[in-house]
Chains A and B, each alone.
Chain A
Amino acid sequence: MSYLLSVALFCGLLALLLLAASFVLVPAWENSPWKTLAETAHEVDVLVFGSSRTYCTVIPMEMWRHEGVTAVDVAGPSQPLPVTLSFMRQAFKTQDPVVVMVEVSAVGMDSDPWCDLPMAHRSFDNMPAGVERTTSILQSTPPTAWMELLLPLHAYHSRLPELTRNDLTLGKFGRFTYRRGADYWTVVTPQSGAVEIRSCPESAYLRDLETIRQMAAECEDRGIRLVLYVSPSFRRVAVGGLPLLERIAADLRDDHPQVDLLDLNQVAESIGVDPARDYMDSVHLNIRGATKVSRWLGAHLVDSYGVQDRRRASFADRWDEDLRRYDAACPGIGD
């Protein structure tokens, strides 16, 4: 018995040591949405999910500034839709949003299973441990990646050559919670010429359509309006010759008629997104473009979905303080 106790004690101490080590050395994703969601529990009316096209397009602080809308981006780079569904379920544990937006350009984007390990690390390493994270890893990644993703200590061993003093800064996860999950880029890559169309294979589309149906069901069960959208981009997706959203609209019309679809490409010109100045690359907006889209989106959410102005709420001071931090971090860039 005493032997078993000593083994348990040894393993427990080892787990604590590894946990401490991982907290210090796991590659920081300072923009991680999970700390943001914890800090703003039950305050957020709009959750925006998806891939990098989400956090490069929607700046929640701009929506707060102009409309008093509380929003958070909950997205990971190159993230497949099944993982986005896990993100959604996890986020619902701390938030009761009025509107959920999902950027769907990732339809059929990556192989199944998800083999892009650096990207998968970004999505999973900072996700709260539990059933959602575990099942998502097991379902969306190959068996050879399971150990590496389930035990995040794998994530920091190879960072020796790139360690800096900053790696020893405690509390770096979600250090930029004031951004509310958004990232911003000041790079300008002028876009011109024809839009590139990526043709999504039917089988991959149908696989992800099933995930979208599950998202719709999750939202309907909670009385949440689901908006499927695509960000302004010069690389768009088509399925069977139809633009992505048109195809989704046709497929969801019967069983999920209340799901709304929003193609931001169609409003981009009218709200002043300038292809010569507002793109970071062909699929991501820079902060100028994102600011324009976010201001429009805030007003759209208020007008179309009755999202409330929360600037008189008890937590408003904290959101204002974060807006000041946001402005201080990128003064005037968005103007």
Chain B
Amino acid sequence: MPGFPSSLVGTVQFASVAFLFVLAITVIAYYSLPGPRTRAVLLLVVSSLLYLTMAPQGFLVLALVTTVAYVSGVLIERGDDRIGRTRSVVGVVAVVALVAGLALFKYADSTVAFVGRIAALSSLAGDRTLRLVLPLGMSFWTFQAIAYVVDVRKGRTSAERDPLLFWLSVAYFPIVTAGPITKIQQLGPQLREKRAFDPDGIRSGLLLMGRGFFKKLMVADRLVVFVDAVYADPHAFGGGSNGLILFVASCFFAIQLYMDFSGYSDIVRGASRLFGVEIPNNFRGPYFATTVRDFWRRWHISLMDWLKEYVYIPLGGNRVGDARRYANLLAVFAVSGLWHGTGLTYLAWGLLNGIYQVAGGLLAPLNERIIRRLRIDRDSVGHRAFRTARTFVLITVSWVFFRAESLADGAYIVTRMFSPTLGVLTDGSLLELGLTASDLAVALLSAVIVFILEWASLRTDALTIITRRRVMVRWAVYYALILTIVLFGAYGGAYRAADFVYFKF
């Protein structure tokens, strides 16, 4: 972004004191302003500035995508079907433009490089790329814009006429970098309303943010050290004596990714709640899922809902025959993989998850027979634990491709990660990969605490229970949470503050 001071770039990250400082000032200013319009202006200014500090080069693209979606919405609503197919044409052109824009930034470089490599093989060209940088959060706000255009075209929602509110609904700082993919018609009415100051909302928002920081700084940013060390050179671990390290690292990655992404989601949901604006929850205890299908109802919910509504259902959804339905499932997960990245690893990851579900559907009758034959109680704790563990392992295997540097690395890890080299758990090998015993203990203990609380939250809202306790109890919890993060969190100069994983998508 020309003119934006380069010294400010990178000064604000979500997991930072600087962000908390900006947030506190914004909340105070927000409730000091008289009307919803001035408050919206404030949020828009802060959102734009925060985006500029994080990714100035993507700002113009964000503005362009927002403008395309806004103008399309207005044109579609004004269009008159009696004199032609104006609405459809505008809708299709807008969606194609948005998809093309995303594809350009996301895939053009790798495609050109791929073509260049093929050309180089025939001595026709060298290694060239366009050097396009994917703007921060583009995958998220482009999907948000596509959903809006489609919804307006289908008449599911009316066009947002207020350009300020529309711009804010896309650039709203809690969601602009990595979602959740929130429908503009969900945000607009909330941003239009004048919200009274709500101490309970502030409390629960802060507590939610605290939980997010806990996940990110206590667990994710510790485990990332171990995971990076192993995945940087997986071939160092595939031998007959230490293959299990690959399994441990992959499990750690599964936990790291969850703590990182759900931690981010907690932080931004909590931050948004401070302004009285609710954004959707992206996770609902995914690692307690008992099937892969169940997992995908609990993981990155806003993306899966989007894929279901704008890809799966238009393809026929469940209303078609089994063969077509399975093909649709594979298509949805292939799109999901490609949405995450250009590498074949992402496609493999997506397809593997689709295959899991197709296989689950095909094997369901056999599974039923086995359960009946063995007289297994479906509701028993043991059976549920088995299914949960099985799902975790299957998902962890798929995460291997998500994290691996190449398809070959992924295949290498998957074929060696289950080698029975239990000795690595006790011979100190795990402590030679960047984490000390105390670091490891803090990370794993913190992860256990998070999972216990989330398990409890599946039945009741643990955060609400805390915010409704007597003041002494509440404060004790708050102080314990803050001091724990401050004392034991991984941040600052001694650590490489890992970016949130999903910022790159």
Q: Interface on A for B, CB 8 Å cutoff?
A: 3, 6, 10, 13-14, 17-18, 21, 25, 117-118, 121, 143-145, 147-148, 151, 153-158, 160-161
Known: A17-B483, A160-B442. A10 touches B488 (CB 8 A): no
A158–B18 Cα distance when bound, in Å, is 19
Known: A3-B199, A14-B482, A143-B7. A157 touches B17 (CB 8 A): no
User: Chain A residue with minimal CB distance to B197?
Assistant: A3
Known: A3-B199, A21-B483, A21-B487. A148 touches B492 (CB 8 A): yes
Query: Any chain A CB within 8 A of the CB of B59?
Result: no
A18–B490 Cα distance when bound, in Å, is 17
Query: Any chain A CB within 8 A of the CB of B495?
Result: yes
Residues from chain B with Cβ under 8 Å of A157 in the complex:
486-492
A281–B11 Cα distance when bound, in Å, is 38
Interchain CB contact under 8 A, B492 and A13: no
Q: Give residues 459-505 of B contacting A (CB, 8 Å).
A: 471, 475, 478-479, 482-483, 486-495
Encoded as 1 (CB less than 8 Å from any A CB) or 0, chain B from 391 to 427 comes to 0000000000000000000000000000000000000
A143–B10 Cα distance when bound, in Å, is 9
A6–B488 Cα distance when bound, in Å, is 27
A159–B479 Cα distance when bound, in Å, is 20
A168 to B: closest C-beta gap in Å: 13
Query: Any chain A CB within 8 A of the CB of B16?
Result: yes
B207 to A: closest C-beta gap in Å: 13
Interchain CB contact under 8 A, A154 and B491: yes
- Show 8 A/B contacts (Cβ-Cβ < 8 Å), sorted by A: A10-B478, A17-B479, A18-B483, A118-B493, A148-B493, A153-B486, A156-B487, A160-B487
A162 to B: closest C-beta gap in Å: 9
Checking B8, B18, B488 against A160 with a beta-carbon cut-off of 8 angstroms, the contacting residue is B488
Residues from chain B with Cβ under 8 Å of A151 in the complex:
17
A147–B489 Cα distance when bound, in Å, is 15
User: Chain A residue with minimal CB distance to B485?
Assistant: A157
Residues from chain A with Cβ under 8 Å of B439 in the complex:
160-161
User: Top 5 closest A-B pairs, CB basis?
Assistant: A158-B494, A117-B493, A161-B436, A147-B17, A154-B492
Residues from chain B with Cβ under 8 Å of A14 in the complex:
479, 482
Checking B11, B483, B495 against A143 with a beta-carbon cut-off of 8 angstroms, the contacting residue is B11
Number of A-B contacts (CB under 8 A): 61
Residues from chain A with Cβ under 8 Å of B489 in the complex:
157
A157–B436 Cα distance when bound, in Å, is 15
Query: Any chain A CB within 8 A of the CB of B438?
Result: yes
* SS class, residues of chain B in contact with chain A: helix
User: Chain B residue with minimal CB distance to A154?
Assistant: B492
User: Chain B residue with minimal CB distance to A6?
Assistant: B471
Checking A10, A144, A158, A160 against B475 with a beta-carbon cut-off of 8 angstroms, the contacting residue is A10
User: Chain A residue with minimal CB distance to B471?
Assistant: A6
Q: A147-B21, A157-B491 are in contact. List 18 more A-B contacts (CB 8 A).
A: A10-B475, A13-B475, A13-B479, A14-B482, A21-B483, A21-B487, A25-B487, A121-B493, A143-B7, A143-B8, A143-B11, A148-B492, A148-B493, A153-B486, A154-B17, A157-B489, A160-B439, A161-B436
* SS class, residues of chain A in contact with chain B: helix
Residues from chain B with Cβ under 8 Å of A3 in the complex:
199
Interchain CB contact under 8 A, B492 and A160: no
A10–B475 Cα distance when bound, in Å, is 8
Residues from chain A with Cβ under 8 Å of B18 in the complex:
147
Q: Give the interface size class of chain B.
A: 20 to 34
Q: Give residues 1-36 of B contacting A (CB, 8 Å).
A: 7-8, 10-11, 16-18, 21
Interchain CB contact under 8 A, B16 and A158: no
A160–B217 Cα distance when bound, in Å, is 13
A143–B436 Cα distance when bound, in Å, is 30
B487 to A: closest C-beta gap in Å: 6
A39 to B: closest C-beta gap in Å: 30
Interchain CB contact under 8 A, B11 and A144: yes
A10–B476 Cα distance when bound, in Å, is 10
B440 to A: closest C-beta gap in Å: 10
Residues from chain A with Cβ under 8 Å of B478 in the complex:
10
Interface centre among B442, B471, B483 (most CB of A within 10 A): B483
A117–B496 Cα distance when bound, in Å, is 13
User: Chain B residue with minimal CB distance to A3?
Assistant: B199
Interchain CB contact under 8 A, B495 and A158: yes
Residues from chain B with Cβ under 8 Å of A121 in the complex:
493
B21 to A: closest C-beta gap in Å: 8
A312–B330 Cα distance when bound, in Å, is 92
Residues from chain B with Cβ under 8 Å of A18 in the complex:
483, 486
A145–B7 Cα distance when bound, in Å, is 12
B205 to A: closest C-beta gap in Å: 14
Interface centre among B438, B479, B487 (most CB of A within 10 A): B487
A154–B18 Cα distance when bound, in Å, is 13
Residues from chain A with Cβ under 8 Å of B486 in the complex:
18, 21, 153, 157
Residues from chain B with Cβ under 8 Å of A6 in the complex:
471
Residues from chain A with Cβ under 8 Å of B487 in the complex:
21, 25, 156-157, 160
A235–B119 Cα distance when bound, in Å, is 55
Residues from chain A with Cβ under 8 Å of B199 in the complex:
3
Interface centre among A10, A121, A157 (most CB of B within 10 A): A157
User: Chain A residue with minimal CB distance to B492?
Assistant: A154
User: Chain B residue with minimal CB distance to A25?
Assistant: B487
Known: A17-B479, A17-B483, A144-B11. A161 touches B490 (CB 8 A): no
B56 to A: closest C-beta gap in Å: 15
B53 to A: closest C-beta gap in Å: 10
Residues from chain A with Cβ under 8 Å of B11 in the complex:
143-144
User: Chain A residue with minimal CB distance to B19?
Assistant: A147
Interchain CB contact under 8 A, A145 and B493: yes
Residues from chain B with Cβ under 8 Å of A148 in the complex:
492-493
Residues from chain A with Cβ under 8 Å of B494 in the complex:
158
User: Chain A residue with minimal CB distance to B199?
Assistant: A3
B175 to A: closest C-beta gap in Å: 24
A151–B482 Cα distance when bound, in Å, is 15
Residues from chain B with Cβ under 8 Å of A13 in the complex:
475, 479
User: Chain B residue with minimal CB distance to A145?
Assistant: B493
Interchain CB contact under 8 A, A158 and B492: yes
Residues from chain A with Cβ under 8 Å of B436 in the complex:
160-161
Interface centre among A14, A144, A161 (most CB of B within 10 A): A144
Q: Give residues 171-217 of B contacting A (CB, 8 Å).
A: 199
Interface centre among A25, A155, A161 (most CB of B within 10 A): A161
User: Chain A residue with minimal CB distance to B490?
Assistant: A158
A154–B490 Cα distance when bound, in Å, is 10
Interface centre among B475, B482, B491, B494 (most CB of A within 10 A): B494
Residues from chain B with Cβ under 8 Å of A144 in the complex:
10-11
Residues from chain B with Cβ under 8 Å of A154 in the complex:
17, 491-493
A13–B491 Cα distance when bound, in Å, is 23
User: Chain B residue with minimal CB distance to A161?
Assistant: B436
B211 to A: closest C-beta gap in Å: 18
A145–B493 Cα distance when bound, in Å, is 8
A161–B488 Cα distance when bound, in Å, is 10
Known: A10-B475, A158-B492. A147 touches B483 (CB 8 A): no
Residues from chain A with Cβ under 8 Å of B488 in the complex:
157, 160
B210 to A: closest C-beta gap in Å: 12
A264–B486 Cα distance when bound, in Å, is 46
Residues from chain B with Cβ under 8 Å of A161 in the complex:
436, 438-439
